Amino acid sequence: MPSRDRQQVVDRLAARIGLPVVLEDAAQQPLAHSPHHDLTDRMRQDTILRHATSSEVVAHFRQYRLTERTAPLLTPGEGEELLPRWCVPLRHEGRTLGFLWVLLPTPEATEPLRAAAAEAATELATSLATEDRVRRAESALVVDLLLGDAEAREAAGRAVADRGSLPPGRRLVVAVCTGAAWGTPAVRSRFWQVGWAPPGGHHLGAVTDREGISLCTAADAPAATEAVTGALQRLRTRIGDDRLVVGVGDAVDGPGQAHRSHRQARRAAWVAASSPDLPVAAWAELGVERYLTSLPAEELAAAVDPRVRRLVDASPELVPTVERYLAAAGAVAPVAEALHIHRTTLYHRLEVAGRCGLDLRKGADRTVVDVGLRALRLLGTHPAGPL
């Protein structure tokens, strides 16, 4: 059942009982809502305006253990802020797929209301079960295509071709969405709803414990980057959390090469996660980080020059000055001006920093420090934190 048909079921139920109705997914994120029917509360208004259920609201209803419920329940109100509600869990094969809510003027659900809600709930549960099955199958296909061994990738590629999921002969780009907020159920739920492909593009998606994956047709990486930047912004807005980033791989020729773009996207996402001012990082636009992220975190940590670690440990307050100096390619005047200090003061700071065993007047040593500090940002151990 397409979303527009679910909306019709919700509107039909609301008209039948004369009360507002809301359909939510298993993460309590809204999928459809009816008109107010002259009855609303602050919680409903906020959800409709935000197009999302706030974490506070989810926390409030956690006391009712909704995901464990197999039968409808009545939740009491709390004055004008929160009206009573009749909640029908939408379940299929032992799993909770969503919730059907009816706002009540009084803490009472009549038999006709219960019967009408149960009838609509059966129809909606079937729809959500079908959608859930399709998404799970799509996720499994994409995971095999990108993360499986050579045999699994080949089989997945044939399945993509047989299903006509992606037009043949089109270039593909993989984007990876991850970050501190990814573990939130609402994020994974909303991932499917924000539209990751460029206009007119085709898309396959996957949701795993680690990341959300978008495999889409795109002429090149910049076109995909523009699309996922908008999608990320919509996702952040809907969940009210900016702790998400996206990495974008290069465009590749066909599903058989998509795993390469995925590997690049993961590494670009690592860079984005270490740089909050860069929520979307494209592999094609990275510099030395292309090399640094090719190492596992443990090996990268071991590769940092001990002299850089001595600098950070002994004089962490000097690191911003050193980075300014490195960014200016050793030009003293613009750095002193930017820091609002005298050149003599800058020379003194650089001398102190040099006591770790590095001569910042030498290009090779400047490279060692620059690369080392970039590595520490990726590792989350830079003294000044992320960029």
Convert the pLDDT of each residue in 71-119 to its tens digit: 999 999 887 778 999 999 999 988 999 999 999 999 999 999 999 999 9
Would you say residue 232 lies in a domain? yes
Domain range holding 227?
Answer: 148-292
Of 299, 301, 321, whose CA–CA distance to 311 is shortest?
Answer: 321
Is residue 327 assigned to a domain? yes
Asked if residue 47 is part of any domain, the answer here is: yes
Distance from CA of residue 196 to its chain's centroid? 11
Same domain, 153 and 285: yes
More confident residue, 86 or 331: 86
- Residue 384: per-residue pLDDT: 66
What is the CATH classification number for the domain harbouring 311? 1.10.10.2840
Given a cut of 90, whether residue 58 has pLDDT beyond it is: no
Q: How many domains does the chain have?
A: 3
Distance of CA 345 to the CA centre of its chain: 44
pTM: 0.83
Same domain, 152 and 129: no
pLDDT in tens, 119-130: 999 999 999 999
Cα–Cα separations (whole angstroms), residue 217 to 16, 171, 212, 270, 375:
44, 6, 17, 23, 33
In a domain, 387, yes or no: no
Please check whether residues 251 and 281 belong to one and the same domain: yes
Residues 121-143, mean pLDDT to the nearest whole number: 95
The predicted-structure confidence for 143-172, as pLDDT tens digits, reads as follows: 999 999 999 999 999 999 888 888 988 999
Q: What distance in Å separates the CA atoms of residue 293 and residue 249, rounded to the nearest whole number?
A: 13
- For residue 98, the one-letter residue type is G
From 241, 273, 292, the end of a domain falls on 292
304-324 tens-digit pLDDT: 999 999 888 887 888 888 888
What's the rounded mean pLDDT across residues 130-142?
94
Proportion of the chain above pLDDT 70, given as a percent = 97
Same domain, 59 and 12: yes
Of the residues 243, 276, 292, which one is the last residue of a structural domain? 292
Q: Are residues 321 and 266 in the same domain?
A: no
Mean pLDDT, residues 46-68: 84
* Domain CATH code at residue 115: 3.30.450.40
Domain boundary among 133, 166, 184: 133
pLDDT category at 386 given cuts 50, 70, 90 is very low
Looking at the fold, whether 127 and 153 belong to one and the same domain comes out as: no
Is residue 384 in some structural domain?
no
Sign for the CA dihedral angle at 2, 87, 76, 62 comes to negative
Average pLDDT, the chain: 89
Distance of CA 135 to the CA centre of its chain: 17
User: Among 2-6, 25-29, 143-147, which is the least confidently predicted range?
Assistant: 2-6
Task: Name the band, by pLDDT with cuts 50, 70 and 90, for residue 1.
Answer: low
Residue 193 shares a structural domain with residue 283:
yes
Same domain, 247 and 265: yes
pLDDT computed for residue 155 by the predictor: 95
Tokens of 333: 């005047």
The answer as to whether 141 is a domain residue is: no
Residues 216 and 90 in one domain: no
Considering the domain boundaries, does residue 138 fall inside one? no
> Is residue 192 domain-shared with residue 214, that is, in the same domain?
yes
Predicted confidence band of residue 339 (pLDDT cuts 50, 70, 90): confident
| Domain assignment present for 385 | no
Q: Are both 301 and 259 inside the same structural domain?
A: no
Do 228 and 157 reside in the same domain of the chain? yes
Split at pLDDT 50, 70, 90, the class of 387 is: very low
CATH code assigned at 270: 3.30.70
Structure confidence at residue 18 (pLDDT): 93
Q: Indicate the pLDDT class of residue 142, thresholds 50, 70 and 90.
A: very high
